[in-house]
Amino acid sequence: MATRKERALALMQTWCDALLAYQVEEFSTEYLHGSLLCPACHIIHGRCADLAYPLVTLWAQTGREAYLRAAVELVDWTEANLVCEGGGYRNDAGNRWTGITAFSAMSLAEALLHYGDRLDSALRERWLNIFARLCGYMIHFYTVQNPNINYSAGGAALFALAHRLLGGADWLERARALERFCRAHFDEQGLLYGEGKPVDAITEKGCRPIDMGYNLEESLPLLIQFSVHAQDAQSLQFYAARMRDHLAFLLPDGAIDNSFGTRHNKWTYWGSRTSDGALEGLAHLAPLDPLFARAAGVVLGLYEHCTHDGLLYGGPMACDAGEPPCIHHTFCHAKALCELYHYGGESSAGDAPLLTVPEGVSAYQNGNLLLCRVGGWRATVSACDFVYADGGDNGGGSLTLLWHERLGPLCAATMARYTPVEPHNMQYLRNSEETYCFTPHIESGEKLSVCDRSARLTVECAQADCVRVAAQGAWFSFRYEFTPETVRIQVCSQEGGTFSLPIIADKAARVAGQEGEIRIGGLRMRADGAFFWPNGKSGRQYSQVGGFEYVRAAFPLAPGETRQVELVCADE
């Protein structure tokens, strides 16, 4: 059986070979030559030179000069087209955001750190000078910007790398100052907050701007990298503990539960569209604890599962849905594979299953976010009221995630209204409009329960074999019961309407049965009255958030009427 190190290198090569098929070679103009054209977005993503680190790694390991040449051309294209006043990089040709300069600089730094002695002196000096200029720009950036917390984590890691490559105590002090800022932004449960504006915000219900996609795929890995490059053992232990806290949101199949996050508009089941990946941090922690090694293994496995035609797709069902892959996913996450290859690919993972959340109920966000684990079921219920982006509501006492150890994901929240708040970083559907909310919810006229920020959660029972949670909104209520055998959902709307229950189902999942009981793939659904299929039993609708296809079941509600739906695993 291949080691994680071997798997990481093989997947890195698969990805890079596929990416280089999209490198522009036909035009000699500096405006295009060397860039990567995205088959999904039909643009050039400005951060494509982040691929320099993986490409140099492959050059060093295989001896193929084409990899190094491609890396040089990517950096040259970026230098010709994206340098802003002051010397940093713009996010894209049409985007004036420059905070991403830190991430591009880190890719160059890692390539120089590992393989600088193998590069010819002229290239090494050129890249080192570019790195120094980018670091200098980021000093200015942090004096004039108040970015989300992930950029502070990025600065800490960047300046620690600058200390190693450029020397000078000032770099390390800058790194430590940003790390101290980040360290002050963990809540009582050990979760990092700050993925929203302002970073210190707290809502009336006590919710913070927390995003698990960015925390697990970017901020924590960057703070772990700071600890490594600053040779700060105490910080490494601190962030290992915080990673352990965050692993409550890592599912046994390697997915990240970001169904509730402030920036879940970019959720892709394996993480977030433009971050580097949890492996970037887990690589450094895997030698410290088999738990982290097991986590690294399942995350890597999900990347492999979501790779088709050499590229990382934006979710488990994106390829089957006919949605092309945005290359941003691949060139960013290739850097995480590099870290796993260099630092964490061979340590033992042990044989224990990856169980990161205890049985019963775990409460977060001042009781507005509940993780439930009973038997083989995992569920997330959210009444979080911090909304980062237009259309991004995912609270209201909603069941934002339902997962089973045998069936995988069954329900997963999307945006209340799909709004591409980052047009270059969020895909549109290829041939249709994404207009529907696939979070289980009640509709009444133009109202959606998922948008009710006043909803409150109550835990009525929290045992290993039975969990009951009630959600009370302004005009509706939910009650969820989880046992090892069954999930029961009771819904009521004082204004009437429709309860919409989208179930994740790939095209191979057969939908069959009669009124009162329906089988959807390996799931059996029972209802206490009439329901209908707005898109038919065979109809599938795909969402870019999460990356799933759904069949929609709808349950009419009379004013004040309580309806119940039961979900059970079908017999094998």
**What pLDDT is recorded for position 11?**
99
**What pLDDT is recorded for position 505?**
96
- Strand pairing of 497-504 and 476-482? unpaired
| Domain locations along the chain | 4-343, 360-418+436-569
**What pLDDT is recorded for position 512?**
86
3-state helix, strand, coil in the chain (%, to 5): 35, 20, 40
Instruction: Measure the CA–CA gap between 257 and 264, rounded to whole angstroms.
Output: 10
Tens place of pLDDT for every residue, the chain, 572 residues? 889 999 999 999 999 999 999 999 999 999 999 999 999 999 999 999 999 999 999 999 999 999 999 999 999 999 999 999 999 999 999 899 999 999 999 999 999 999 999 999 999 999 999 999 999 999 999 999 999 999 999 999 999 999 999 999 999 999 999 999 999 999 999 999 999 999 999 999 999 999 999 999 999 999 999 999 999 999 999 999 999 999 999 999 999 999 999 999 999 999 999 999 999 999 999 999 999 999 999 999 999 999 999 999 999 999 999 999 999 999 999 999 999 999 987 777 766 778 889 999 999 999 999 999 999 999 999 999 999 988 999 999 999 999 999 999 999 999 999 988 898 999 989 988 877 999 999 999 999 999 999 999 999 999 999 999 999 999 999 999 999 999 999 999 999 999 999 999 999 999 987 777 889 999 999 998 888 999 888 889 999 999 999 999 999 999 999 999 999 998 75
For 344-366, the three-class secondary structure string (H helix, E strand, C coil) is CCCCCCCCCCCCCCCCEEEEEHH
Burial (0-12, 13-18, 19+ Cβ within 10 Å), 553? buried
Model's pTM, two decimal places?
A: 0.97
Instruction: Measure the CA–CA gap between 147 and 150, rounded to whole angstroms.
Output: 8
**What pLDDT is recorded for position 537?**
84
Tokens of 103: 């991430």
Q: How many angstroms separate the first and last alpha carbons of the chain?
A: 29
In CATH terms, the fold of domain 360-418+436-569 is Beta-galactosidase; Chain A, domain 5 (2.70.98)
- Second-level CATH architecture of 4-343: Alpha/alpha barrel (1.50)
**What pLDDT is recorded for position 465?**
96
Instruction: Measure the CA–CA gap between 80 and 282, rounded to whole angstroms.
Output: 35
